[in-house]
């Protein structure tokens, strides 16, 4: 028999998650007290009370405590925290946060538009004709992949199969996509060919590249400026954009007028305060420089912290600027301490709590805090540098900020009826196709058997009617309704209705083809339109094709333990939340009894879990 262990005495809970951070009360109330709290007659009623009833009681209690429904996550799917791998926030001791597009969210059109304009100016300086280049933010979405060999941008599914593609600013047709990518999978490790759009900073770069590909195709980029290859062009555009990030002009303009670029959100400051007051060490680790970081954080946080007598620096136990991620997670780089308000630095050997540094490494941070691995959660927006590397190299737990998730979830709700109708059409096609395949196989077997025995088509089976093939196929025989499913699967009946000959079979097959082609005339355009509420060219961020995950979603699953649209979505969950990943449904989890299959709505999916995190402690 398994002896129950008090969770307070165990290092991990029954799911293997650390119990660090558990609340240890000196005194425990009597069991009557528990019943009173939950409105139960006895403590054991917890086993029998229906879940729905308990949920209502929980809701009432929260409202009684003055916590209105709008301040906790239920019912706000676009602001929920989603979980790929179970994470117990209560046991996390250190929360590291990235700044740009994580702690500070920018108006993408304003920031990327400005970066685009500066990139264009840099291209002009390099000798390109740039007239007419204008920022079109909806040309790309995050998670797409640049094919630098062919001058294309593609959307791939989780296997790397290309589902949609554009060459320059031209959408490629379905057949063109198949011809180009039908025999190859996108492999992100082939960095010479593919570049993944990891962050919203990639938007300006990708849009500029697409427009420049058009120009290269028109012969409008002189060979003296760049070699006539899409790869060389990518390098040129990247260089033009890189300069906007590292040369001071763009950032100086933003510092002059942060209100034009930064989206303010008071809950961000309160969320960090909650985490800090729950005893967690907070770190800020950004690639931005000190002057820019100081200006952005002052602008977005100090106004909300003033009431607490605090400034942004007071939130953090350590700040690291110019961290040079990804190198920060790969190497031990020199460390400097920023010692004056105007950013003067001196080299130091070790990091320590309470200070502001430039450079250094994740290893130095762990050493300074004496905390490492999965006791640290890092929150960022860049899939590779913030999530993948922190996890692969240091086993830090990771949270990805995906602001577009808010629009995506709203678009998915609007597009639900479209997807239902599309799935129904596809299921109809599958049903007709199944009939077609069976009939085709029957014809093949009959022909083979006729050849083998030099005889004619077998005589009709006893009791079969002279109905046409198509009416026989659509009538509900005992086999089709599932009652004798097993019997049907063990005996092979090659017989045909009376009067059926090869010609009539062919006629029926031809009719079925016409039915399927007719279905295709609607399915094709509907597939192209799927997800247009999010982006008319690329569809949804998280999906590829009707039923599968996009490569972006796959990357999230691999590298981000949780993901959400904003850091302050954590505010609604408390710093002690237990984010539990949804149970994974497998292809064979569907109930495969024949009756269940017939009864199921055709558009029903095996996987109906929303994936929204449970957050009970």
Ligand X SMILES: Nc1nc2c(ncn2[C@@H]2O[C@H](COP(=O)(O)O)[C@@H](O)[C@H]2O)c(=O)[nH]1
Nearer to ligand X, 96 or 415 (CB): 96
User: Judged by CB under 6 A, does residue 112 bind ligand X?
Assistant: no
Give the residue with the Cβ less far from ligand X, 100 or 375: 100
The minimum distance between CB 216 and ligand X, in angstroms, equals 21
Secondary structure, 3-state, 92-145:
CCEEEECCECCCEEECHHHHHHHHHHHHHHHHHHCCCCCCCCCCCHHHCCCCCE
- Within 8 A by CB and 6+ apart from 611, the residues are 82, 83, 581, 582
Sheet strands (E) in 340-456: 345-348, 356-359, 376-380, 397-401
The least distance separating Mg ion from the CB of residue 367, rounded to whole angstroms, comes to 24
Q: Is 100 in the site for ligand X (CB under 6 A)?
A: yes
User: Among 99, 154, 268, 351, which residue interacts with ligand X (rule: CB under 6 A)?
Assistant: 99
**Residue with the two structure tokens 């209705």:** 497
Q: Tell me whether residue 233 or residue 435 sits nearer to ligand X (CB atom).
A: 233
Find which of ligand X, Mg ion, none residue 245 binds, CB within 5 to 8 Å per kind: ligand X
Region from 99-107, 271-279, 460-468, 582-590 binding Mg ion, contact rule CB under 5 A: 99-107
Residues found in the chain: 617
In the block, tokens 């300074």 appear at 368
Taking the C-alpha atoms of residue 441 and residue 492, their distance in angstroms, rounded to an integer, is 12
CB-nearer residue toward ligand X: 201 or 329: 201
Inter-residue long-range contacts of 392-395, CB under 8 Å, 24+ positions, other chains counted:
392/559, 393/329, 393/330, 393/362, 394/329, 394/362, 394/366
**Mapped to the 3 state alphabet, what secondary structure does 256-287 carry?**
HCHHHCEECCHHHHHHHHHHHHCCCEEEEECC
Residue 80, both tokens: 């929920």
- Interacting residues with ligand X between 281 and 300 (CB under 6 A): 286-288
Q: Which of 495, 487, 491 is nearest to 461 (CA)?
A: 495
246 interface partner picked from ligand X, Mg ion, none, CB below 5 to 8 A per type: ligand X
- Could you say whether residue 118 binds ligand X (CB under 6 A)? no
CB of 122 to ligand X, least distance (A): 13
User: Closest approach of Cβ 430 to ligand X, in Å?
Assistant: 45
Stretch that binds ligand X, among 84-92, 96-104, 444-452, 564-572 (CB under 6 A): 96-104
How many residues line the site for ligand X (CB under 6 A)?
A: 12
Give yes or no for a contact between 166 and 218, defined as CB atoms under 8 angstroms apart. no
For ligand X, the binding residues in 320-379 under the rule CB under 6 A are: 325
Nearest by Cα to 369 from 355, 387, 379: 355
CB of 402 to ligand X, least distance (A): 14
Largest CA distance in the chain: 99
DSSP category for residue 383: I
Q: What does the block give as tokens for 408? A: 């995506």
Distance of closest approach, residue 104 Cβ to Mg ion, in angstroms: 9
DSSP, collapsed to helix, strand or coil, labels residue 412 as: helix
**Residue 174 vs 242, nearer CB to ligand X:** 242
CA torsion sign, 336 to 337 to 338 to 340?
A: negative
Binding segment (CB under 6 A) for ligand X, from list 99-107, 207-215, 353-361, 427-435: 99-107
249 binds ligand X (CB under 6 A): no
Q: Are 332 and 395 in contact (CB under 8 A)?
A: no
Residue in 112, 374, 375, 381 binding Mg ion, rule: CB under 5 A? 381
Considering the complex, state which of residue 96 and residue 168 has its C-beta at the smaller distance from Mg ion: 96
Secondary structure, 3-state, 452-515: HHCCCCCCCCCCCCCCCHHHHHHCCCCCCCCCCHHHHHHCCCCCCCCCCCHHHHHHHHHHHHHH
Q: In terms of CB distance, is 40 or 255 closer to ligand X?
A: 255
Closest CA to 432 of 500, 495, 496, 523: 523
| Through-space distance between the first and last CA atoms of the chain, rounded to whole angstroms | 27
Q: How far is the CB of 18 from ligand X (least distance, A)?
A: 28
Judged by CB under 6 A, the chain residues 229 through 248 that form the site for ligand X are 242, 245-246
For residue 561, state whether it binds Mg ion (rule: CB under 5 A). Answer: no
User: Would you say 541 and 409 are in contact if contact means Cβ atoms under 8 Å apart?
Assistant: no
Query: Is 112 one of the binding residues for Mg ion (CB under 5 A)?
Result: no
Which residue lies nearer to ligand X by CB, 161 or 379? 379
Q: How far is the CB of 246 from ligand X (least distance, A)?
A: 5
Classify 159 as helix, strand or coil.
coil
Beta bridge partners of 358: 321, 336
**Residue 245 beta carbon to ligand X: minimum distance, rounded to whole angstroms:** 4
| Of positions 73, 82, 92, 101, contacts Mg ion by CB under 5 A | 101
Of 297-305, 333-341, 378-386, 603-611, the window that binds Mg ion (rule: CB under 5 A) is: 378-386
Q: Between the CA of residue 448 and those of 434, 452, 453, 454, 458, what are the distances in Å? A: 21, 6, 9, 9, 12
By CB under 5 A, which span of 30-38, 300-308, 381-389, 512-520 interacts with Mg ion? 381-389
Q: Phi-psi category of 170—alpha, beta or left, where left has phi over 0 and alpha has psi -120 to 50? A: beta
Q: Report the residue number, 323 or 512, with the smaller CB distance to Mg ion.
A: 323
CB of 242 to ligand X, least distance (A): 5
Closest to ligand X by CB, 99 or 208: 99
Residue 254 Cβ vs ligand X, minimum distance, rounded to whole Å: 9
The least CB distance from residue 514 to Mg ion, in Å, is 54
Binding flag, residue 145, ligand X (CB under 6 A): no
Q: Which residues inside 516-575 make contact with ligand X, applying CB under 6 A? A: none
Give yes or no for residue 439 binding ligand X (CB under 6 A): no
Nearest CA among 610, 579, 604, 569 for reference residue 590: 604
- Residues in touch with Mg ion (CB under 5 A): 98, 100-102, 381
- Residues in touch with ligand X (CB under 6 A): 98-101, 201, 242, 245-246, 286-288, 325
């Amino acid at each position: 028999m398994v002896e129950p262990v008090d969770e307070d005495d165990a290092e991990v809970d029954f799911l293997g998650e650390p119990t660090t951070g558990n609340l240890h009360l000196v005194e425990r109330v009597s069991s009557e007290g528990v019943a009173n709290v939950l409105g139960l007659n006895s403590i054991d009623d917890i086993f029998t009370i229906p879940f729905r009833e308990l949920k209502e009681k929980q809701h009432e209690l929260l409202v009684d405590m003055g916590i209105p429904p709008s301040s906790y996550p239920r019912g706000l799917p676009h602001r929920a925290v989603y979980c790929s791998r179970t994470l117990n926030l209560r046991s996390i001791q250190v929360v590291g946060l990235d700044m740009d597009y994580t702690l500070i969210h920018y108006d993408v059109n304003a920031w990327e538009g400005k970066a685009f304009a500066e990139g264009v100016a840099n291209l002009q300086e390099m000798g390109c004709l740039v007239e007419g280049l204008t920022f079109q933010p909806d040309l790309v979405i995050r998670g797409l992949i640049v094919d630098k060999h062919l001058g294309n941008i593609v959307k791939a599914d989780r296997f790397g199969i290309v589902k949609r593609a554009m060459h320059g600013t031209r959408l490629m047709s379905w057949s063109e996509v198949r011809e180009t990518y039908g025999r190859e999978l996108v492999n992100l490790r082939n960095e010479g060919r593919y570049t993944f759009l990891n962050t919203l900073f990639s938007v300006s770069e990708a849009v500029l590249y697409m427009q420049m590909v058009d120009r290269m195709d028109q012969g409008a980029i002189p060979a003296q400026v760049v070699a006539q290859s899409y790869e060389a062009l990518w390098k040129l555009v990247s260089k033009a954009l890189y300069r906007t990030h590292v040369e001071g002009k763009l950032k100086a303009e933003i510092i002059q007028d942060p209100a034009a670029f930064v989206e303010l959100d008071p809950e961000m400051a309160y969320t960090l305060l909650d985490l800090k007051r729950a005893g967690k060490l907070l770190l800020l680790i950004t690639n931005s420089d000190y002057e820019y970081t100081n200006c952005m954080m002052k602008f977005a946080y100090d106004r909300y912290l003033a009431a607490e007598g605090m400034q942004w620096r007071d939130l953090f136990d350590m700040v690291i600027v110019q961290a040079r991620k990804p190198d920060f997670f790969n190497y031990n780089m020199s460390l400097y301490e920023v010692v004056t308000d105007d950013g003067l630095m001196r080299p130091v050997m070790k990091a320590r709590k309470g200070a502001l540094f430039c450079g250094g490494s994740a290893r130095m941070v762990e050493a300074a805090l004496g905390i490492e691995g999965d006791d640290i959660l890092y929150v960022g927006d860049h899939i590779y540098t913030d999530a993948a590397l922190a996890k692969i190299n240091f086993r830090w737990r990771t949270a990805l900020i995906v602001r577009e998730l808010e629009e995506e979830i709203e678009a998915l709700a609007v597009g639900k009826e479209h997807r239902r109708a599309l799935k129904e059409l596809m299921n109809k096609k599958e049903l007709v196709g199944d009939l077609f395949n069976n009939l085709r196989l029957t014809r093949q077997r009959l022909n083979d058997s006729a050849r083998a025995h030099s005889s004619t088509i077998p005589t009709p089976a006893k009791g079969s009617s002279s109905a046409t093939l198509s009416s026989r196929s659509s009538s509900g025989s005992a086999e089709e309704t599932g009652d004798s499913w097993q019997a049907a699967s063990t005996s092979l009946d090659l017989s045909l209705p009376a009067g059926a000959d090869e010609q009539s079979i062919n006629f029926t097959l031809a009719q079925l083809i016409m039915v399927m082609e007719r279905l295709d005339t609607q399915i094709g355009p509907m597939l192209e339109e799927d997800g247009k509420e999010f982006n008319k060219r690329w569809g949804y961020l998280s999906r590829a094709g009707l039923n599968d995950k996009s490569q972006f979603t796959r990357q999230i699953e691999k590298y981000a333990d949780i993901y959400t649209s904003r850091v302050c979505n954590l505010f609604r969950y408390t710093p002690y939340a237990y984010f539990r990943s949804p149970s994974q449904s497998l292809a064979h989890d569907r109930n495969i009894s024949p009756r269940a299959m017939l009864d199921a709505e055709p558009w029903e999916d095996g996987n109906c879990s929303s994936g929204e995190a449970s957050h009970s402690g």
